[in-house]
Structure formats: C-alpha cells, structure tokens
C-alpha cells in the first residue's frame, strides 16, 4: 500500500508541475472558474504561505529529517492502516516538494483558489495526510 500511495502522488505531482511550467509563464494565470479557481504558476521560495523565504538549506534539512523519520515509522509496520495511509500521504508530499527544492531552489505551486495561497498536489497530500493523522489521533479507536 505504501509504495502505491507514494508513487501515485509523486507521479501526479511531477506531471502536473511539468505541464503547468510547460504551458504557463511565471505568475501568469488561467481561470478555470473565473474568480474562484485558477491555475497560476508561482515559485514558492518559502514554507507554507511563503513563510521563511529563501531558507533553502533549512527546508532541505528539515524535509530530509521528516522523510527519514516517516520512512522509519512506516517500515516498522506497527501502525493501523489509517496511520499508514496518513503517513504515506505526508511522505509523498514531502518528497514532491523536496525534489523541487533540490532541482530548482523553490517549490512549483499552481492551484489557486483566490482565497488561499497558491499550492500544489504535494502540499495537498501533506495537508490531507495531516488531517487524517490528526483526526485519527483525536478519535482513536483500536484498529489494525
């Protein structure tokens, strides 16, 4: 299950970023639902919401540590299925954004809902994984 989730998210993340960078110029936008949802190419040199701009070494080290810790947790295979899914989503998102930082020095973002900072598939995987993980911890039931 872990390789399937991680591979699927990584392929989707890389493919969408490739297509957007191929078709759009930096900071250009294409409305899909005018005023609601646009595809807007931005280069994020910070963390979420552009926080801590231009701290590339910090983001690379932090990402690598998180990836190693998550991978070790997943390898132990001692978690319930819901935790495995959540951690796999977070791992795939961290890997997707780390690839951008290593190759480009920034993260490629393009999903623009106009009321939220622009984000990407990797960010979505991290967020969904974190919500699932948080929900699972808050409403923990014995499951395996």
Alpha carbon distances (Å) from 101 to 63, 90, 112: 10, 17, 20
Task: Name the active-site residue from 13, 100, 109, 112.
Answer: 109
Instruction: Give CA–CA dist 6/40, Å, rounded.
Output: 25
Instruction: Give CA–CA dist 88/9, Å, rounded.
Output: 9
> Known catalytic residue: 109?
yes
Alpha carbon distances (Å) from 13 to 1, 52, 97: 18, 23, 9
Task: Name the active-site residue from 13, 100, 112, 123.
Answer: 123
Strand partners, 18: none
> Known catalytic residue: 112?
no
Q: Supply the residues annotated as catalytic.
A: 109, 123
């Amino acid at each position: 299950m872990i390789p399937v989730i991680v591979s699927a998210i990584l392929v989707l993340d890389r493919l969408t970023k490739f297509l957007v960078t191929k078709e759009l110029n930096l900071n250009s936008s294409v409305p899909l639902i005018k005023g609601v949802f646009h595809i807007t190419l931005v280069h994020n040199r910070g963390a979420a919401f552009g926080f801590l701009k231009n701290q590339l070494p910090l983001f690379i080290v932090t990402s690598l540590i998180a990836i190693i810790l998550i991978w070790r947790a997943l390898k132990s295979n001692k978690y319930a299925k819901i935790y495995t899914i959540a951690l796999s989503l977070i791992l795939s998102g961290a890997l997707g954004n780390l690839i951008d930082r290593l190759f480009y020095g920034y993260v490629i973002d393009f999903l623009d809902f106009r009321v939220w900072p622009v984000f990407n598939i990797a960010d979505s995987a991290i967020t969904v994984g974190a919500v699932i993980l948080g929900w699972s911890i808050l409403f923990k039931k014995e499951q395996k």
